[in-house]
C-alpha cells in the first residue's frame, strides 16, 4: 500500500536468503523419536511450528514453538537420529512426537496403578516422564540406546 | 503389622506434629487440623481407596447433580477433589438416573458440543451438559459440566493423541473429578478462538464426525465454586496431620475465603502463581523457576528426579514412585510472592503399598522430570486456601494458594 514497503533490491535479496534459510531449516529440522532426521519432515507442518536450531556437543536441539504456545525440543545425534524429545506448555500431539513409541506410552500408562498425575515410565530402553496440571504440562522422552556417548539425560529439558 | 499396636504412638505423633506446625505459625489458630468444619458452607472429604478400591492418596467427596431447575437429582459420591484442574467431570456410569435429563450443549448449527478434557496423564472424553450442582449448602445453576462417556461418539484421534483416554471407573479410580483450582474455566481464552492457537478441548460433533471448535468462555466447563451465589471466591481444603500410613482420614472442603467464620485466612502466607500457573522452587541449593504447584489431585510428592534426590524409582509397575532403601528427608523452598521452606520425607512405595488395607500415605513420592508437584501428602496437617482468578478475598485477589 505505502511506497515505504516496496521491497528494495537489497531487501528482495535478503528476503530470498531468509526464505532459503527457513526452507533449509524446516526441511531438515524435524523428526519423530527414534526415527532418522531425513526420514520425517512432517512434524513442523503437522504442528504448524516455527523452528530454531541450537548446536551442542555431540548433538543438536531443534526447538519449535507451536501456535498453541507449546515449546517442543527434538534432540538429534550427530548420526542424525532423534534420541529425545521434550515439551512444555499446552499438551502436545504425543502421537506425532513419539511415533512408534506412542503405543508403548499408552500401554504403560494404562498399567500405572494407584491413581496419579505424574507419569514416569521406564522399560529399560524407552523413558517417558510427564508432569504439570490442566493447561500446562512439562515432559520428556528418550531412548537409552540412541543417546550419544557422554550425554546425560539431564541435558534433556 | 507395624501399625497393629501403635495407635497411641500414632496419636502422639499426630499431636506432636500438629503442635510443631502451630508453633511454626503454619496454620491459623482458628483452624483445628483434626476437626471437621460443619458450617453451612462446608462438607466432608475423605482420603481412602476410592470407589474403585485402587487409589492411593485420593481425596474424595460427594456432589449433588440435578437437571437444571428441577428436583430430578442424583448424589454422586467418590468424586476426586482436584485443585489441579478446573470444572466438574462425572462418569456417565455414575449418573445412572439423571444423565438423560441433563441438556446437551449444542452450537448454533445444532451440532453437539463434546470435550477432550486434557490432564497430565490422560484425556477424558464426553459430552458437555448443563446441570445444577450442589455442595456444602451451596448451589450453582446450569453449570456446564463434562459427562465422561465415549459410548455414543468415539474419542477423536486428535484427542487420544494427547494421551490415553480414561472413560471408566477402573481407569480413573473415581466417579468423577471435581476441578476446584484457581481458574474459573477449564481452558480459557485460547479455546474461545477458532485459529491454530486453539488448545483442542472443545469439539462440535455431527453424529460421530467431530471437529475442534471455538467455545465461548461462559459455555466452557466451569469451576462450579465460581458460580455459587455466595462463598464463590475460592475454597479451603483441610486435612488432619498423619505421620504414618492409614486406611482413611477425613477432612473438610470449605467454600469461600474470608466469607464465614470457618474460612478466615488468618496468618496463612499467600503464594501467587506465574502466568503458567506455577510457583518457583529451590531444592538442594538450586533454584528452579516456574517449576512447582500445589495439587490435591496428585497423589504423591512428585518432585525432582532420581539423579538429584539420589533415590531410585521403584521397579515396574510402580516406576512412577520412589523406592529409597530407607525413608529420606528433604527440604525445599517454595516461592511465589511469599517464600517458605518445607520439610518432607519420602518412603519406599513398594513397602508402603505392601499393607493392602492402607490408602493414606504421607511419605509417598515419585520422580517428576525435575519438577515439584506438591501433591496430596502436602495437604496432610495443613489448611490450604485456593483463591479463584479475578475474585477478591481478604488475602488479596486470586489466583493464589495460601497456607
- What is the DSSP secondary-structure string of B262-312? T---TTPPEE---TTS-EEEEETTEEEEEEEEE-TTS-SEEES-HHHH--P
Instruction: Give the span between the Cα atoms of A25 and A18, in whole angstroms.
Output: 10
pLDDT over 50 (residue B228): yes
Q: Do B196 and A48 touch (CB under 8 A)?
A: yes
| Strand blocks (E) in B101-259 | 112-118, 123-135, 138-148, 176-180, 202-206, 209-212, 234-238, 249-255
The number of beta carbons lying within 10 Å of the beta carbon of residue B175 is 24
Compute the CA torsion angle B119, B122, B123, B124 (nearest 10 deg). Answer: -100
List, for chain A, all residue ranges whose pLDDT scores fall below the cut of 50.
Answer: 1-30, 39-40
pLDDT at A108: 84
Identify all chain A residues contacting B199, using CB atoms and an 8 Å cutoff: 68, 90-91, 135
CA distance B79 to B175: 5
Closest CA to B231 of B295, B135, B130: B135
A22-57 pLDDT, tens per residue? 433 443 334 689 887 754 455 666 666 667 788 888
Segment B232-277, tens digit of pLDDT? 999 999 999 999 999 999 999 999 999 999 999 999 999 999 999 9
* Tally of CB atoms within 10 A around A103: 11
Q: Retrieve residue B51's grid coordinates.
A: 470407589
Q: Is the pLDDT of residue B29 over 60?
A: no
Grid coordinates of B122: 490422560
Mean pLDDT score, B79-101: 97
pLDDT number for residue B317: 82
Q: What is the mean pLDDT of residues B98-119?
A: 97
Between residues B22 and A53, which one has the greater pLDDT?
A: A53
Of the candidates A42, A72, A73, the one whose C-alpha atom is nearest the C-alpha of residue A60 is A73
A35: Cβ contacts below 8 Å, ≥ 6 apart: A81, A82, A99
Interface of A with B in 17-36 (CB under 8 A): none
Confidence at residue A4, expressed as pLDDT on a 0 to 100 scale: 35
Asked if A93 and B158 come within 8 Å (Cβ–Cβ), the reply is: yes
Share of chain B above pLDDT 70, in %: 90
Beta strands at B372-374 and B286-294: parallel, antiparallel or unpaired: parallel
Between B302, B305, B317, which is nearest A117 by CB? B302
Portion 67-96 of B in contact with A at CB < 8 A: 80, 84-86
Cβ–Cβ below 8 Å for A131 and B318? no
Q: What is the pLDDT of residue A31?
A: 61
pLDDT at B39: 57
| Percent of chain B whose pLDDT exceeds 90 | 85
pLDDT of residue A23: 37
> CA–CA separation, B352 vs A50, rounded Å?
46
User: How do residues B77-89 score in pLDDT, each as one tens digit?
Assistant: 999 999 999 999 9
Note the pLDDT of residue B17. Answer: 36
Interface predicted TM-score (ipTM): 0.85
What's the CA gap between B191 and B212, in Å, rounded? 9
- Cα B354 from chain centroid? 26
What pTM, to 2 d.p., does this model score? 0.86
Amino acid at each position: 500500500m505505502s511506497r515505504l514497503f516496496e521491497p528494495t533490491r537489497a531487501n528482495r535479496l535478503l528476503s530470498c536468503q531468509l526464505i532459503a534459510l527457513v526452507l533449509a531449516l524446516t526441511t531438515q529440522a524435524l523428526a519423530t523419536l527414534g526415527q532418522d532426521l531425513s526420514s520425517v519432515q512432517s512434524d513442523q507442518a503437522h504442528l504448524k511450528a516455527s523452528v530454531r536450531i541450537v548446536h551442542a556437543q555431540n548433538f543438536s536441539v531443534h526447538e519449535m514453538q507451536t501456535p498453541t504456545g507449546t515449546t517442543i525440543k527434538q534432540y538429534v545425534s550427530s548420526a542424525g537420529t532423534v534420541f529425545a524429545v521434550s515439551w512444555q506448555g499446552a499438551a502436545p500431539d504425543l502421537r506425532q512426537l513419539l511415533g512408534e513409541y506412542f503405543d508403548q506410552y499408552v500401554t504403560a500408562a494404562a498399567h500405572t496403578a494407584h491413581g496419579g498425575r505424574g507419569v514416569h515410565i521406564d522399560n529399560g530402553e524407552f523413558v517417558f516422564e510427564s508432569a504439570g496440571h490442566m493447561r500446562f504440562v512439562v515432559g520428556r522422552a528418550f531412548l537409552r540406546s540412541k543417546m550419544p556417548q557422554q550425554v546425560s539425560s539431564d541435558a534433556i529439558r | 503389622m507395624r501399625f497393629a499396636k501403635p495407635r497411641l504412638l500414632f496419636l502422639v505423633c499426630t499431636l506432636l506434629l500438629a503442635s510443631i506446625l502451630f508453633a511454626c505459625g503454619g496454620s491459623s489458630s482458628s483452624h483445628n487440623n483434626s476437626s471437621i468444619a460443619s458450617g453451612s458452607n462446608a462438607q466432608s472429604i475423605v482420603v481412602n481407596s476410592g470407589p474403585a478400591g485402587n487409589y492411593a492418596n485420593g481425596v474424595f467427596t460427594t456432589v449433588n447433580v440435578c437437571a437444571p431447575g428441577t428436583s430430578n437429582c442424583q448424589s454422586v459420591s467418590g468424586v476426586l477433589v482436584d485443585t489441579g484442574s478446573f470444572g466438574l467431570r462425572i462418569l456417565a456410569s455414575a449418573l445412572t438416573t439423571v444423565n438423560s435429563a441433563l441438556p446437551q450443549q449444542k452450537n448454533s448449527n445444532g451440532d453437539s458440543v463434546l470435550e477432550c478434557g486434557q490432564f497430565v496423564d490422560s484425556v477424558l472424553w464426553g459430552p458437555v451438559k448443563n446441570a445444577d450442582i450442589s455442595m456444602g449448602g451451596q448451589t450453582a445453576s446450569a453449570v456446564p459440566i463434562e459427562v465422561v462417556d465415549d459410548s455414543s461418539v468415539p474419542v477423536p484421534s486428535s484427542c487420544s493423541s494427547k494421551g490415553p483416554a480414561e472413560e471408566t471407573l477402573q481407569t480413573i479410580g473415581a466417579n468423577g473429578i471435581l476441578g476446584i483450582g484457581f481458574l474459573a474455566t477449564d481452558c480459557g481464552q485460547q479455546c474461545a478462538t477458532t485459529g491454530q492457537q486453539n488448545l483442542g478441548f472443545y469439539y462440535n460433533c455431527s453424529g460421530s464426525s467431530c471437529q475442534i471448535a471455538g467455545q465461548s468462555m461462559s459455555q466452557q466447563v466451569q469451576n462450579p465454586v465460581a458460580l455459587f451465589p455466595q462463598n464463590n471466591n475460592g475454597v479451603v481444603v483441610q486435612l488432619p496431620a498423619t505421620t504414618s500410613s492409614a486406611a482413611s482420614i477425613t477432612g473438610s472442603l470449605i467454600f469461600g475465603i474470608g466469607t464465614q467464620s470457618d474460612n478466615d485466612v488468618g496468618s496463612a502466607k499467600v503464594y501467587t502463581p506465574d502466568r503458567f500457573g506455577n510457583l518457583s522452587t529451590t531444592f538442594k541449593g538450586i533454584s528452579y523457576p516456574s517449576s512447582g504447584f500445589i495439587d490435591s489431585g496428585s497423589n504423591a510428592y512428585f518432585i525432582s528426579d532420581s539423579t538429584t534426590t539420589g533415590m531410585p524409582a521403584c521397579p515396574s509397575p510402580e516406576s512412577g514412585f520412589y523406592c529409597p532403601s530407607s525413608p529420606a528427608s528433604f527440604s525445599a523452598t517454595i516461592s511465589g510472592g511469599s517464600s517458605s521452606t518445607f520439610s518432607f520425607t519420602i518412603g519406599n512405595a513398594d513397602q508402603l503399598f505392601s499393607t493392602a488395607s492402607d490408602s493414606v500415605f504421607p511419605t509417598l513420592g515419585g520422580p517428576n522430570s525435575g519438577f515439584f508437584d506438591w501433591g496430596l501428602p502436602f495437604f496432610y496437617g495443613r489448611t490450604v486456601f485456593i483463591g479463584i482468578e479475578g475474585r477478591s478475598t481478604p488475602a488479596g485477589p486470586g489466583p493464589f494458594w495460601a497456607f
